[in-house]
Structure formats: C-alpha cells, structure tokens
Amino acid sequence: MYDLLIKNGLVANEYGVYALDVAVKDEKVVALTVHGQLDDASAHKVIDADGKYVLPGGIDTHVHYDLSISEAMSAQSAEAGSRAGIWGGTTTYIDFSMSGGDDSLVTSIEGKLAQTQAQQIHSDYALHAIMSGDWPLQTAGEMAEAISGGVVSFKFFTAFKGSPTIGGMMSDDGRIYSAMLETEKHGGITMVHCEDECIIDFSIRRLYAEGRPEFWNIGEARPPLAEEAAVRRMLLLSKRTGSPLYIVHVSAKESVEAITEARADGVEVFAETLHPNLVFDPSLYKQENGQRYMNYPPNKPIEHRDALWEACIDGRLHTLASDDFTIPLERKIMGDTVDNVTGGTNSVETRMSVFWSEGVAKRNLSVQQYVNLTAAAPAKLFGIYGTKGVIRPGADADIIVMDPAVDHTYKQDENLHSDCDFSNWDGYSVKGLPVTTILRGHVMVDHGEWVGPKGIGKFIPGKSPERA
C-alpha cells in the first residue's frame, strides 16, 4: 500500500514533460507509471492532478534567515521563512552561516545549524557559508572540513567595504583567490556577490558632488559597469584556479554576456538571477516609500531585464532565487541616500508562481526549463540532486502540483505568510499557482489550507557540485 498517489498529472523534469502517475511511500518516490496503471485503492491518499503539472518542489538557493547585519538589516526567522516558502512551493531552501575576521568558519557553521535546528522549520534546508571581510589565511584552511560536513559552497563579497547599513563584508581578490584554490582542491564551489567597490565609491562621490545623493539614484551609484567589472575579475580567477564559480543575483546584460563568453572558453561558471530583478523597474524607487523595492545590486531598466529573460529561456542563466531578506517597513525605509539605503526584499513565497506566470505563461519559457531553473540545477550545483530537485524513484517526495489555470492576486495579511508587515508583491496578480505542496510525501499545503505537520524540516548535507 502506497502512502500517496498523484494521478492524471503531467510530470516534469529538466528534460521533458510526461503523462505519469507518481506513487510515494516512506517519504520517497517509489514508482512512476502510465496513467491508470495504479488504482485509487493502492494508496492511503490520492491526489487527482488532471490538467495540472506535477513538478519537483522548489529549491531556493539564496535566502537569509536569522541574520542581523545592522540595526536596519535584521532578517526574519528560519521558522517564518520556511513557512512562507512552503506556502509558495519551495520545499528546500539554502541559507547562509556568517563568519568574518578571526571567526572560525567551522564554528560559525555549527552555530548556524544549532540556531536553525532549535526552531520549528517547515521545509528542508541546506547551507552555504559566508566568509566576509579581511579573514586570515587559516580560515581558508577550514574549508575542507566544512565541505566534508556537507557545506560545499562559500560566498564572498567584492563590495560593502563600509557603509551605515552594510559594512565590513568585502573581501579582496587575493582572499577570494585563496578560497578558490581550496574549492578546486576539495570539491566545493565559490559564490560571489559581484559589484566593484572602487567604481561604486567613485560613483557615489560624484553623485554627492553633483548634489544628487538621494537613494533613487542608486542605479547611477551602482551602475551595470560595477557588476560587470567584478564579474569579469571573478571569471579570471575561476579560469586560473579551475574552481567552479557561482555568481549570485546577476542583474546586468553585460554580466550575462561575460558569463556566456567565459563558458564558451571552458570556465565552469554558473549564474543566478532573482525574480524581483526580472520584474521590477527602477522607476519604482521614486514612488512613496520607494526604498521598499531596493536590493543589491539594484533593479535595472528594461533592456537588462529583457536580456535576463532571454538568458533564462535559452539556458545561459542557471538558477532562479529570491534573495529573501525580510525587513519590516519602518526599518526598510530608514535610508534615504545612495550610501545608506537598505537591501533585502520579502520574496521567498512568490518566487515559484511569479516565475511561472511571467515566464511560462507570458514568455513561452518551457516547463522543463522552469523546472531546471527552480529545482534541478540548484540541486545539482549544491550537491543534493537525486535526493532533491527531481521526481524519480529513490528521490525525496518533494512535489508541487502547479495549476496553470489559476488566477491569483497576492494580498498582505490575507494570503502571504512571512513575518513581514509588507510585501512588494501585495496586489500583484499571477497566472498559475502551486495549489499543493508536498514535503517528503507529507501534504503540507492544499488549495489554500495548511494541512500537514509542522516543524519536520531537516538539514540536507551537500556533496560536490554537478555541472548544471
């Protein structure tokens, strides 16, 4: 007797879409069969997915929970973030530990895991490690131990040397180079937030000199050139070391071009984009409380967003993340100049449906490419594929039922579930919604109701990345 049977749906992976039924037992997918081969009596619970897509649960590669960078930038808890993610179809998230200066990398990872495990976590999770600031040489020596413990990805910043809201995060190229030597040697992957600190510093000083320091000029303070310059430096280091490179939240068309060129030259580089960067125009910064739309790097004009969409559709971008860093509105709008405005948006819950609506429904993004960007490639790049990111026998039964016919409008305090008091998606309408979310065979959310257990999320250790 199966625990769960999902019948009559269209099951998708990163290669195609198939008319199959899915059988689940003991939290795992155990069988895929043609429609009708298994009858309802073969399972304790049956979901009829007729007219719907049966997809791997979403994997959000980039969230920040329980993180406090400054008084203004303090994120929601992992309990709240995982709850919102499950409502939106994300069954696994990847958060970050944080070390800086003389902090022990391994101790910071252990502390982050303990902090997370002390909460009621509603989805499964993996972990990246941030190495910030001017850390000493011996910190790189701890990376091998971290990798052996299931944390295989390490994040660095080429910007944020110092500001009222985000300071002390930047690491110089020499330190990042030393880390790449370690990830190449031990089977990890290097992640980099790419913005050039020197170009930003000059641009900010010029805006002040011109009497234009207001935060809505952030696109000039952090221009596309700043992103491209840092991307190209990191591509060079990746090429010379042989380390896999993952560039977070790509937002500029020139960055996409640089990454495309590098991959053609054999560099093992992968690129992430965010659904807010695909949708929101920088003109929104001039609205009342326009700081709410701000993240780093800032939103770009339409020609950049069109380039990002093209790269999602043709596979030159590899993952679709949220960079969820949820801050209450009062703190979010504290900054009013280009050098003190906060980053972070409330976006983990909306990622899967916004990307389906804007990509599959409006731009003919294929369903298999949707699966690749939201689940399969994230799982491969961070070493959890086979357990996560795919519907096949032996995999965890992390599944969403996507109804492409649903028209849905997000409403704050009604159908959004983070701990934040505002959302940039409040009032935003989508075509297509995950109507059922299943974590390891447990039906968690079904047609607008939480029906599953709470607090069953567990840590999923990563292995060496696979090529996506």
What does pTM read for this prediction?
0.97
282 and 232 within one domain: yes
Taking residue 51's Cβ as centre, other Cβ atoms within 10 Å add up to: 11
CA dihedral over 276, 317, 323, 451, signed as positive or negative:
positive
Query: Token match 């790097």: residue?
Result: 297
Is residue 462 domain-resident?
no
Q: Are 446 and 431 in contact (CB under 8 A)?
A: no
CATH number of domain containing 414: 2.30.40.10
Q: Is 316 in the same domain as 429?
A: no
Provide the H-helix boundaries in 57-216.
78-88, 105-117, 137-140, 143-148, 173-186, 197-209
Same structural domain, 367 and 406: no
pLDDT of residue 384: 98
- Residues paired with 386 in a beta bridge: none
- Residue 19 is part of which domain span? 2-56+391-450
pLDDT at 282: 98
Same domain, 116 and 170: yes
**How confident is the prediction along the chain (468 residues), in pLDDT tens digits per residue?**
999 999 999 999 999 999 999 999 999 999 999 999 999 999 999 999 999 999 999 999 999 999 877 776 778 999 999 999 999 999 999 999 999 989 999 999 999 999 999 999 999 999 999 999 999 999 999 999 999 999 999 999 999 997 666 768 999 999 999 999 999 999 999 999 999 999 999 999 999 999 999 999 999 999 999 999 999 999 999 999 999 999 999 999 999 999 999 999 999 999 999 999 999 999 999 999 999 999 999 999 999 999 999 999 999 999 999 999 999 999 999 999 999 999 999 999 999 999 999 999 999 999 999 999 999 999 999 999 999 999 999 999 999 999 999 999 999 999 999 999 999 999 999 999 999 999 999 999 999 999 999 999 999 999 999 887
In this structure, are 108 and 52 located in the same domain? Answer: no
H/E run at residue 153:
strand 153-157
Number of domains in the chain: 2
Is the domain of 348 the same as that of 396?
no
Please enumerate in sequence order all residues whose Cβ is within 8 A of that of 324, keeping only pairs 6 or more positions apart, or say none.
Answer: 60, 62, 63, 64, 65, 75, 81, 84, 344, 345, 346, 347, 348
Q: Is residue 381 a contact partner of residue 371, using CB atoms and an 8 Å limit?
A: no
375, part of any domain? yes
Helix (H, G, I), strand (E, B) or coil at 227: helix
Q: What is the pLDDT of residue 67?
A: 85
Are 23 and 76 in the same domain? no
Residues 168 and 48 in one domain: no
Do 262 and 396 sit in the same domain of this protein?
A: no
Q: What confidence score (pLDDT) does residue 163 get?
A: 67
Distance (Å, rounded) from C-alpha 127 to C-alpha 433? 27
DSSP notation for 21-35:
EEEEETTEEEEEEET
465 part of a folded domain: no
Please indicate, yes or no, whether residues 404 and 288 belong to a single structural domain of this protein: no
124 token code pair: 């499964």
Which residue type sits at 126? A
